[in-house]
A = this chain, B = another copy of it.
């Protein structure tokens, strides 16, 4: 969905600041706050830090943006998308998305615990293909 549309759907005005934040997230795929600040200070220097914080929080509330946390790493933000797992390369730190079915695991958990599984957040530590080929 185009970003203007995405904002309207969520009853947020399409300000240049918001569009810039969304563009930045899109461009990065996964961006830390630091990434966002750095990129924005290049293309929209007057966009203030409080506006970044306020809008990220708002967009997370509305589920337009997701916050992804990895052990021992900074938090990342991404535009919400279909269910996927994260592959994070321990060498170059790049993050890839990967689509995978997890129903069988959920089912196993439900059978063995009696709990009801609602969703999941999966992250795999990898060495990516590119890094492997240069080792």
Contacts and interface: CB of A to CB of B under 8 A. Distances in A.
A125 interface: yes
A120 interface: yes
A123 B125 contact: no
* Chain A interface bracket (under 10, 10 to 19, 20 to 34, 35 or more): 35 or more
B127 A115 contact: yes
A56 B127 CA distance: 28
B124 A123 contact: no
Q: Which of A71, A96, A129 has the most CB of B within 10 A?
A: A71
Nearest 8 A/B pairs, CB to CB: A69-B69, A114-B129, A115-B126, A118-B125, A119-B125, A116-B127, A120-B124, A121-B123
Interface of A: 60, 66-72, 75, 87, 89-90, 96, 98, 100, 102, 105-106, 108-109, 112-129, 132
